[in-house]
Amino acid sequence: MIRGTARMEFENIKSGIKNTPLDTTRVDNDIYFEAVVKKDVIGDIVRLFEHAMGKPAWPSKERLAKEARSLADKFGGLRKGQTLFFLNKDGVSLFAMLWPWQDGERITIRFGKA
């Protein structure tokens, strides 16, 4: 069961993302949010993730935690040029993945809790 503080954190971050101009919303439910944004607004979203979850877990000089790797793999894995934010809080994991498109103009955001 999701504890109150982690649930609030997820909802607050999701609300912040939704307050940014979105190109397309693909999924929006209680545990997962996926959308596409234009490159020119991604800075605001990155700052939101950094404020809530700290610096990216990937890419990083630090070794990626096993739990973070497992979650990333469930959502398509990680490749060069992609970014993963990860936080385990109150026994709940929050993750955010940023996947730039090949067109250089759009980025898919995958954000969830597990």
The terminus-to-terminus CA distance of the chain in angstroms comes to 10
Tell me if the bond preceding 21 is cis, omega within 30° of 0.
no
49 lies in which domain range?
A: 4-113
**pLDDT tens digits along 46-93:** 999 999 999 999 999 888 889 999 988 998 888 999 999 999 877 889
Strand order in the sheet with 83-89: 24-28, 32-38, 106-113, 92-100, 83-89
Global confidence as pTM? 0.89
Please tell me the total count of domains within the chain.
1
**pLDDT tens digits along 24-51:** 999 999 999 999 999 999 999 999 999 9
Per DSSP (E only), the strands in 12-105 are 24-28, 32-38, 83-89, 92-100
